[in-house]
Amino acid sequence: MPLIGHRLIRRDRVVSTMDEVAALAAAGEPEGTVVLAEEQTGGRGRAGRRWEAPAGTAVLCSVLLRPGLPPDRLGPLPLMVGVAVAEAVEAVARLRCQLKWPNDVWLGERKVAGVLIAARAGAVIVGIGINVDGPVSVLPAGATTVAAAAGRPIARAALVERLLARLDAGYLVFTAARGAPDLGPWRARAAMLGEAVTIESGATRRHGRFVGVAADGALELAAGDGSVTRIHAGDLVRGPVLTAAGPARG
């Protein structure tokens, strides 16, 4: 009996599946429960950003987890979830995904899915949004859908089934390794690894070479003098980002 998805609650329209699962967590719901929605009126990304998905075109879900690990052990969780999403998309689309640190899934240089992790009501809630079909033109710039990338229709039900199975397997490995799983499958799909990048965290920009991912999920950024900084949160952008004041400093 799988843990993740042992209880699957389907909803037509919610503000955010994150709120639905937080309410269940507060009411004592056990881990593994999943809320899946056709539409969100207030879908969220990281740092207060919005997640936009036309009704009936996406996989929009949140998973209730109780990993029983200290918060500083959860860094690799978004990477583990990204691998599960990539594996599920790859299985139905027969295309290789790329993973952009820390939480994006890409197909052909465009974002096809995002992962959001939140600690709420004593639980860890994993939110996943995957663009499956519908017009790409209504999505934010730089987005695509699995169907558009694959060039053929994709069955959402089959994708959900794969996703829950891959998440279940990944979470088992993650908890057995006490939050330090093998990140090989993530590294093998890492976008921009070895390239010059900029990491934007709020108003801070750091420039350097993306040289690896540490066991705790941090991005390793090498400066020109060879020193390596570990970065725990931010947005990864290809190349040095030019500003009015010149290139971002590393």
Q: Which is nearer to ligand BT5, 128 or 231 (CB)?
A: 128
- Intra-chain end-to-end CA distance of the chain, in Å: 49
Q: Which is nearer to ligand BT5, 55 or 177 (CB)?
A: 55
Q: Contact between 114 and ligand BT5 (CB under 6 A)?
A: yes
* Residue range at the interface with ligand BT5 (CB under 6 A); choices 14-22, 23-31, 76-84, 171-179: 14-22
* Least Å from the CB of residue 40 to ligand BT5: 6
Q: Which two tokens stand for residue 56?
A: 């009936």
Site track 218-247 with ligand BT5 (rule: CB under 6 A), x = hit: ------------------------------
Q: Which two tokens stand for residue 71?
A: 């918060």
Q: Contact between 51 and ligand BT5 (CB under 6 A)?
A: yes
Burial class (CB in 10 A: 0-12, 13-18, 19+), 71: exposed
Cα(104)–Cα(114) distance, integer angstroms: 5
Q: Contact between 57 and ligand BT5 (CB under 6 A)?
A: no
Q: Are 201 and 212 in contact (CB under 8 A)?
A: no
* Least Å from the CB of residue 138 to ligand BT5: 9
CB burial of 80-92 (b: ≥16 within 10 Å; e: otherwise) equals: bbbbbbbbbbbeb
Q: Are 51 and 114 in contact (CB under 8 A)?
A: yes
Question: Binding residue for ligand BT5 (CB under 6 A) from 4, 5, 18, 97?
Answer: 18
Q: Which is nearer to ligand BT5, 59 or 221 (CB)?
A: 59
* Residue range at the interface with ligand BT5 (CB under 6 A); choices 82-90, 139-147, 169-177, 213-221: 139-147
For CA atoms 11, 15, 84, 70, give the dihedral sign: negative
Length of the chain: 250
Q: Contact between 197 and ligand BT5 (CB under 6 A)?
A: no
Q: Contact between 45 and ligand BT5 (CB under 6 A)?
A: yes
Q: Which is nearer to ligand BT5, 58 or 246 (CB)?
A: 58
Question: By rule CB under 6 A, what count of residues binds ligand BT5?
Answer: 29
At 83 the three-state DSSP class reads: helix
Q: Contact between 82 and ligand BT5 (CB under 6 A)?
A: no
Q: Are 179 and 77 in contact (CB under 8 A)?
A: yes
* Residue range at the interface with ligand BT5 (CB under 6 A); choices 16-24, 88-96, 151-159, 175-183: 16-24
Q: Contact between 16 and ligand BT5 (CB under 6 A)?
A: yes
Ordered alpha helix ranges (H), 94-155: 146-150
Q: Which two tokens stand for residue 62?
A: 């949140």
What is the DSSP annotation of 18-32?
A: HHHHHHHHHTTPPTT
Would you tell me which residues interact with ligand BT5 (CB under 6 A)? 16-18, 40, 43-47, 49, 51-53, 60-62, 103-104, 111, 114-116, 127-129, 131, 139-140, 143
